[in-house]
Chains A and B, each alone.
Chain A
Amino acid sequence: MRSIVSLEFVGRFDPQSFAAFAAHRAERLSLDHLVVSGAQERTVIRLEGPDPLIDAFEMALSLGPADCLVRDVRRLENGAQS
C-alpha cells in the first residue's frame, strides 16, 4: 500500500547534511520526498511511497548521518492511497 507521510525529526542537525542524507536514502528506496522544513533542531520531510519503504527510510534517518543526532521521530499525518 502506498502512503503519504510527513515525518518530523527532532534533535540536533546540520540541515544541509541531513537533507543530503535524506535525499540519498529516498532515492535509494524510490520514495518521493520533500524537505518541508530543515532547521538545527527540527526537520520535517514529506514522503510518498510503499509503507515498508517509508518504514525503512524512517529507520535509516533515525540512525544517521554521523554529524546529526535524532532524538525523536513523529508521524504528522498519514494518508493511505491504495
Chain B
Amino acid sequence: MTHTDKRKTRTRTLSPIGRQIQEALATFLRRESSTIKPEHHLREDLGLDSLITFELLYELEKAFDLEIPNEDLPGIQTLADIVDYVETRLRLSTPAATATPNASHSKEKSRWRKVVTPSTKKSTGKLKPQVDAKGKKPRSESNTKKRAALAKSKGKKP
C-alpha cells in the first residue's frame, strides 16, 4: 500500500547514497540505472525475491556498518524506502561507525560489491559533512543502548 501512495505523489531525486543503491541494483539486475526509480517496488517492479532482497540488505549492512533487524523489514518495500531507512539509521549512528569501511569486504568479489563498495567508500567521506551540516553533533546521548553496544563490540574486533 505504501508504494502505490508514493508512486503517485513522490517525485524525488536521489541523494548520493540513493544513487549508490540505485547503481548497485542496476548492476545486479543488469539494466540501466536510470530505469530504476525511487518509487519502484522491490518485488513487484524490480522482481527481487526475498533472498535477493536479503542479499542487498546484507551488502548495505556491511557497507554502512548497520544492523537491520527483521522487525524493520515490512517498512522496506521500495528503493525510496531503502534510501530513507539507511539515511535515517546513519543519522542515528556514530560518525566513527559510518566512516570506517570494512577492510575485508572490499577484497571480495560479488555481483553486488562491484558497485556498492567503491561508491560507498567515496561517499562515506561525504556523509560526515552532510550529517554535520544538519547540526547533529557526535551524538552519544541519542544512541540507543544497542547502537552503543554495537560500536563497543566493533572496537573489540581486530
A binds B: no
